[in-house]
Amino acid sequence: MNALARWVPRLVIATALAHFAWGLAQPHAWGAIARDGFLRSVVDPGAEDHYLREFSVWWMVAGVALLAMGTLARHILRTTGRLPAQLGWYLLVVGVPLCLIYFPVTGGWAVLAIGILALVAARRTAATPPALPTPSATGRPPVLPPARWAVWAAWAAPLGVLPSSVWRVAVGFADGHAPSEIVYMTALSCVTVGTAFLTVGLVRHWGETFPRWVPRAAGRPVPARAVTRIARIGALLVILITLYGVLNNIFGFVERAPVLIAQDREYEQPEAWVNYLYLPAAAWGFLVLAVAGDYARRTAGRERRPAAEGRFTGT
């Protein structure tokens, strides 16, 4: 596979992440949107910060679009071995107007450059025949494809923790928290989403074979049994924590959670609607448990030796 073609989707994804980071670093209205409960929070054109709210929403939409373009291009490249030229043209359609309107200082230059690289990579991969699956050279049984429900469940895990994580970061920047508190809340949200995203590995190729960038293990099969055990243990821990949180909310075992970092002042308790943001995260552990079961079924026999390997045939 062409090296440039592999890097183009990565650059698009990196640009999308930088887009999100820059949007959070600039003045935004996500704190006000969160305090209004998200629902119909950007429909009043007479509001004092209406345009700032619209800017915040559309900035996020643009980042999601870039992220979708990068991930879809990477999926097509891995599936067919070719990078679609449409990716380059779409990036040029976005980048050229940005460079003309905001000349000379604009992030559109990065989009424009990646678009040109995408067209070059698409031209190079167009002459490459599509990659065809080859039989395993190790003699091990092939890994079965994941069930469709498992793919949906795997993606539902990070999406389920995303609403509460976004709210946590927005509140940290909006309610006058100390820098240490903002760092803690942002790091907690990133770790939560990142850990939940590992569930996707149970239905993706990088959960079966180590990626090329892993030193000394690139291209080798992932130890399926160890992955299954870790996933199931983690899922059970998440389920226990979730059940404890639900029962503590009902029966009030502990009135106040432990304070992990110093606070400069006391903050008001979140409103009742915030609980609905945490509700999808309650399914996280159960989703991981189900996907881990499908992963174990697909990789059964992956680590077993072939039947004829090491067999003594004495005469």
**pLDDT tens string 140-182:** 566 778 888 999 999 999 999 998 888 888 887 776 677 888 8
Q: How far apart are CA 156 and CA 210, in angstroms?
A: 23
SS3 59: helix
Q: How confident is the model at residue 291 (pLDDT cuts 50, 70, 90)?
A: very high
pLDDT value at 254 more than 70: no
CB 23 within 8 A of CB 54: no
Q: How confident is the model at residue 314 (pLDDT cuts 50, 70, 90)?
A: very low
Mean pLDDT of the chain: 81
**What pLDDT is attached to residue 274?**
77
* Residue found under tokens 């992220």: 67
Can you give the pTM of this predicted structure? 0.56
User: For the chain, give me the number of helices (H) and strands (E)?
Assistant: 10, 0
